[in-house]
Structure 1
Amino acid sequence: MNGDARSHSPNVRGNAPGLTHVALTWIEKRVEHWIRFGDSAEEKILDRRHRIVSFAPNSIFAFVRWASNDFGTVVSRIDIVRAVGPGERYQTLPFIRPGGDILLRIDGWPKVERALQAIDAVEAIGLDAADAAPEHWRHVHARLTVGHEPRPYTREQHDAWLLRRKVQS
């Protein structure tokens, strides 16, 4: 699959300005794109297999992509992304328009599975993974990329993140 969302998915452009739009496809056992966490601001169902979910600026979400052909899995990927606001710099990503601030980008099922376990660990301490500090997802990305175990996210880290966010606003 190439990275051009326009040739493989419905039009990703949504109606609401300032939102980040993600094209999701579900063709069981062939192409499965889904949101693992994140609170969408809008959802548009295009047909039984395609929909577009949209996120407000500064929302954090996890986008999982998996695809196979007759010979097995061809894509296994997870991206944790911060939705950007109008005029902000961003990186482009397939199926996400305009793009986003990439916090984590992992390929290959063994590493994707470890990233999903890191998400589960955040949720296990009673937090929504979308509310975790962006630096935690960057840390998980860096550790998994080199084959190391990421340090767990703690309540203390989360409290520090909430205080820092309050001071910055």
Structure 2
Amino acid sequence: MTTFAAPIAPPFAPGSVRLPVVGVARAARDATLAALVVLCATALAWAEMALQDWIPAELDFPADAQVVTDREIGSTVRMFSVATGEETGPLLERWEEALRTSGYAIERESEELVEGSIEFSGPGIANAKIVANRVAEDGQTLIEFDATLD
């Protein structure tokens, strides 16, 4: 007669019930991490698309522009910045012309365009300045908007 040798089942150990608890904890951790990733991705996508409502609609932003800073300080001070790989000299010239033809007052000296800045005022804006002189480490230029609203 042939006998089969089967492994003997280990005796019940109280610690063995912890295995499912560890699995549940791991699943909860993974679900929390997934939710956090989705939340961050949603926030980034929203930040890339949203412009402050005081920014003149006449300013045509480059396709690669990404919002870096978006701050409201009190009821009148606004700070906003975008990063772009587009050459800023021609961009600022287009923006200045668009602002001028839309009735905004441009308060700029000719040498300031070389420095990369435009000062303007207009409907709802007591004064604002656009400065494009900082280059980020990835080669993109940071364009900053500072404004005081009426």
Report if TM-score (shorter chain) is over 0.5. no
Which of the pair has more CA radius of gyration?
2
Length-normalised TM-score, structure 2: 0.31
Answer 1 or 2: which has greater strand percent. Answer: 1
Length-normalised TM-score, structure 1: 0.28
